[in-house]
Amino acid sequence: MPIALITGSGGLIGSESARYFAEQGFDVVGLDNDMRAYFFGVDASTGPSSKRLADELGESFRPVDLDIRDQDGVDRLFAEHKSQIELVVHTAAQPSHDWAAREPHTDFGVNAVGTLNLLQAAREHCPSATFIFTSTNKVYGDRPNYLPLVELDTRWELPEDHEWFGGIPVEMSIDRCTHSVFGASKVAADIMVQEYGRYFDMPTVCFRGGCLTGPQHAGAQLHGFLAYLMRCTVTGEPYTIFGYKGKQVRDNIHAHDVVRAFGAFHKAPKVAAVYNLGGGRESNVSMLEAIELCQGIAGRELGYTMSDQARIGDHQWYVSDFEAFKADYPDWRLTYGIEDVLKDIYECNVERWLALA
């Protein structure tokens, strides 16, 4: 059986990837050492998710407790399976702006050095394996904030006659802007994935994601804003909006659609590919609009405060242009809109959240 090696297999995208590729006939080797609990506390632990995967997938899933910063450990794992590995899905990351500034060495070690360890192991032991990297729109730093945005009642928006009204393409520069420490570590990983593709002729891809979301998100304060917003609405926990009058816009894509994009790429991989991937114009929302939707779905009011201070490097407006991916993989499409995403998050988590409140 071919092997799909998935890092961060207990997380949102990692667990969805494990289920999907197991269904596609892969034996899944899942790497997860539960650093999410270290980053964000016990409520964000991936331990329960990893256990569910093992129970659901049985012999199709092999969990491995391994830190991707461990170069020798990563190399031994790849050497064990060699050319049986046909696919690497790299989702493990330190994903928070704020947390990265607390421990820059840890952030860079996980995001950049860990990615390098995986790339080199793949190059030495399974160079023809498809290497899929979950990059981020934060590689563009705060450059999107320099677009000529206009203020509307509930959101910031681009004028309809602007060339990027449909979304930000990969042609946007990543230079001369503020990235945050997290953004910088992801830039390093993103560029290295591209370089291994070009320099060593490996089938690699960087998916520069907008807000990747879904019901498996832990709903931590520093990561996964839609899940955390819905959780606060359900439980009555106070919520803080940071900057931009609550009118900042994000596009959101459900994990189901993200992983189907991975599957489409693996069926016809390219060398050193780069795509933006998000909800685009089909699935985006401002913070104020998201609050209204959450309140309507949950039937509860959210108690929130507004801070004038935006997070460093945070986007005022970001909508992905993923037309390049759709052109290369025309059978793929979004299946979840923003309301579908929020309803899924609510229905899958409401009983558990209320029990914990």
Q: Which pair of tokens denotes residue 107?
A: 């952030």
Query: For 40-79, how does the pLDDT look when each residue is reduced to its tens digit (9 = 90+)?
Result: 888 788 898 899 999 999 999 999 999 999 999 999 999 9
Instruction: Report how far residue 205's alpha carbon sits from residue 89's, in angstroms, rounded to the nearest whole number.
Output: 10
- Say if residue 268's pLDDT is above 70: yes
Going along the chain from its start, the domains and CATH numbers come out as 3-356 (3.40.50.720)
- Say if residue 224's pLDDT is above 80: no
Query: For 32-42, how does the pLDDT look when each residue is reduced to its tens digit (9 = 90+)?
Result: 999 999 998 88
Which pLDDT does position 357 carry in this prediction? 67
Which pLDDT does position 122 carry in this prediction? 98
More confident residue, 313 or 286: 286
- Say if residue 219's pLDDT is above 70: no
- Say if residue 313's pLDDT is above 80: no
CB 74 within 8 A of CB 118: yes
- Say if residue 218's pLDDT is above 80: no
Which pLDDT does position 217 carry in this prediction? 72
CB atoms within 10 A of CB 188: 17
Query: For 80-91, how does the pLDDT look when each residue is reduced to its tens digit (9 = 90+)?
Result: 999 999 999 999
What share of the chain in percent tops pLDDT 70? 98
> In angstroms, what CA-CA distances link 221 with 39, 126, 314?
11, 38, 15
Strands 150-151 vs 304-307: parallel, antiparallel or unpaired: unpaired
Which pLDDT does position 153 carry in this prediction? 98
Which pLDDT does position 88 carry in this prediction? 98
Arithmetic mean of pLDDT over the chain: 95
Query: For 160-187, how does the pLDDT look when each residue is reduced to its tens digit (9 = 90+)?
Result: 999 999 999 999 999 999 999 999 999 9
Which pLDDT does position 223 carry in this prediction? 59
Which of the 8 DSSP states describes residue 214? -
